[in-house]
Amino acid sequence: MRSNVSHTAAEMPELMVPVRTTNSQDLKVHPASALNVSIPVPTSPKVPISGTKSQVAFSDLVEAYRTGQPEQWTRAESAIHSCGLEALPTLLDNLQSPDGQIRELASMMLSQVMPDLLYPEDPSQRPEVAPIAERLRIALGDESVEVRVNVAVAMSLIEGEGPRLVPIFQELLNSELPHVRTMSVVALGGLTPHAVPAIPAIQRMSQSDPDPNTRSAAVEALQLLQSQP
């Protein structure tokens, strides 16, 4: 569940958005080709490069993003995925970084690795969910909309979090950023039956959202929500 990387130093790499449907283990991965976001490259220092494999990989990811190195990005992204459960502490710790861009990248990677970590082929390898959810809930209050939407998407894979997340995604439907609206409406489509109250807003988006990707995602979300008894 890795992204197709084609970016410069000032662009957010493309994401694959994971969303849990009505069956908690029925995961859909949506290519979000509209998720390239133009943001300024900061001059803040790099993440320290010493530490565990996942810490080094995340440091490489940040450096690749800031210097516009797609090949290095691909290697670092692959390394984070290969770390398995070891990646979780690294990514969760970086959600608390004072550097907003580091928090955004950590949240983005969490949204990508959570499906494989929460629903591994071997159920005995599934981590304890409660402490993960507790730390993610804190990040839902982040000042960055990028962090909030990525964390909410990651949390949408956790059983029982739907009622908490629906109002957050509903608020994010009003974002000025098309990719945030798209990610939010896709996630709502996977949160039945809790997301039924969002149907009127999603209907409006399917007809009048200025972004074609968001409109298409809204149509699909409506089909999922309205197909439930």
Per the model's pLDDT, the better-predicted residue between 27 and 94 turns out to be 94
Residue 87 pLDDT: 95
Q: Is the pTM of this model over 0.85?
A: no
Phi-psi domain of 48 (left: phi exceeds 0; alpha: psi -120 through 50; beta: other): beta
- Give whole-number Cα distances, 64 to 8, 89, 111, 169, 201, in Å: 10, 21, 19, 30, 38
Judged against a pLDDT cut of 50, whether residue 179 lies above it is answered with yes
pLDDT in tens, 58-116: 999 999 999 999 999 999 999 999 999 999 999 999 999 999 999 999 999 999 999 99
Under the banding of pLDDT at 50, 70 and 90, the label for residue 215 is very high
Residue 229 pLDDT: 65
User: Are 77 and 61 a contacting pair, CB within 8 Å?
Assistant: yes
Mean pLDDT of 133-162: 95
Angle at 122 between CA 4 and CA 188, to 5 degrees: 50
Under the banding of pLDDT at 50, 70 and 90, the label for residue 36 is very low
Judged against a pLDDT cut of 70, whether residue 44 lies above it is answered with no
pLDDT in tens, 190-204: 998 999 999 999 999
Show the tokens assigned to 33: 């080709």
Judged against a pLDDT cut of 90, whether residue 28 lies above it is answered with no
Residue 39 pLDDT: 33
Question: Which of 44-48, 104-108, 141-145 has the least mean pLDDT?
Answer: 44-48
Under the banding of pLDDT at 50, 70 and 90, the label for residue 131 is very high
E-strand stretches of the chain: 15-20, 27-32
Between CA 35 and CA 7 the distance in angstroms is: 11
